[in-house]
Amino acid sequence: MSLDKTNPLSLRNNLVDVVHHAILQQIESGGIKAGERLPTEEALCHHYRVSRSTVREALIRLRAAGLVISRPRAGTFVSTLAKAATLTLPSIACVQDIQRYYEFRCCLETGAAKQAALMHDSRDITSIRSAYHAVSCSSAYGDWCVDADFSLHNAIAVASKNPMYVTGLTALRPHMLFTMQMSFELSAPQWTQRSFQICSEHHDIVEAIIKRDCRAASDAMQTHIKNSMRRILGDAVKV
């Protein structure tokens, strides 16, 4: 496999986001195919002109999203599950569709959070914490990285050790990115307050999972998703 031939990335506030997005685009476009080995960390550092710690953080996010896997002494490979979601979900075209999406997502992710609290290992926690940190940092810059937000939710699904949750969430990814971006845009006038609330909700989910408190993890995820729907549809919506 060869890297794309674009010019090296310019320096930005968050180089991890830049490298993560560049590799993600390569995977999604088929530039790096399922089962194919990524370049070495050294090669990625040279190509993107960033430090090894930046590359490693970007790769951690990709692992958290289930897009790549690391094999000891072999390297990092694009997961065969990266394009494996077979579910084709209806598109979002109206308010009712948004409500149905959140109802389905709530059922899926509360279950994933509960199982993650029960089944996670130390590597899962590293991935979850890294994704949580990435979302928190994007908030601190007055922006919201929807890819990082999705990576946090996907890291939780991966920690459940049930590939059904990962496949379901992968199928939901376009809907999640769409509604996350919509929520960010609608929250712009009250962004400081809203971002604090979202980070607090994420914190509660992550802490419950780390403590292996299944009920608290499920409840915290349910609260987060219902609040996410309110942030788009308002307090009048039935949840």
Q: What's the pLDDT tens digit per position in 173-188?
A: 888 988 888 887 776 6
Residue 71 belongs to a domain with what CATH number?
1.10.10.10
For 174, the token pair is 């376009």
Model confidence at 7: pLDDT above 70: no
The neighbour count for residue 85, using CB atoms within 10 Å, is 16
Residues 140 and 220 in one domain: yes
In terms of domains, do 48 and 110 share one?
no
User: Domain end: 26, 44, 78, which one?
Assistant: 78
What pLDDT shows up at residue 86?
45
Question: Domain of 51?
Answer: 15-78
Average the pLDDT over 202-229 and give the result.
97
Which residues have C-beta within 8 Å of that of residue 187, sequence separation ≥ 6? 194, 195, 231
* Residue 8 reports pLDDT greater than 70: no
Number of domains forming the structure of the chain: 2
- Last residue in a domain, options 78, 113, 129: 78
Q: Which CATH number is 135's domain given?
A: 1.20.120.530
Is pLDDT above 80 for 13? no
- Looking at the fold, whether 102 and 68 belong to one and the same domain comes out as no
Is the domain of 130 the same as that of 33? no
Point out the domain boundary residue: 48, 78, 108: 78
| Closest by CA position to 205, among listed 146, 131, 99, 102 | 131
Give the position of tokens 């376009």: 174
DSSP output for 100-120: HHHHHHHHHHHHHHHHHHHH-
> Domain check: are 69 and 167 in the same one?
no
* Strand residue runs (E) in the chain: 68-71, 75-78
- Based on the fold, state whether residues 163 and 52 are members of the same structural domain: no
Question: CA distances (Å), 45 to each of 71, 92, 228, in order?
Answer: 19, 39, 37
Same domain, 19 and 128: no
Residues 25 and 113 in one domain: no
pLDDT above 80 for 196: yes
Residue 83 domain-assigned?
no
* 118 and 229 part of one domain: yes
Residues 147 and 206 in one domain: yes
Question: Are 108 and 35 in a shared domain?
Answer: no
Higher pLDDT, 227 or 64: 227
Q: Are residues 109 and 31 in the same domain?
A: no
The tens digit of pLDDT for each residue in 30-49 reads 788 888 999 999 999 999 98
pLDDT of residue 163: 82
- Tens digits of per-residue pLDDT, 64-91? 777 888 888 889 998 876 555 445 678 8
Backbone angles phi, psi at 159, to 5 degrees: -65, -20
Average pLDDT over the chain, rounded to whole?
Answer: 83
Who's near 109: CB < 8 A, 6+ residues apart?
153, 156, 157, 169, 221, 225
Q: Does the residue 205 lie in any domain? A: yes
State pLDDT tens for residues 127-166.
Answer: 899 889 888 876 655 555 788 888 899 999 989 999 889 8
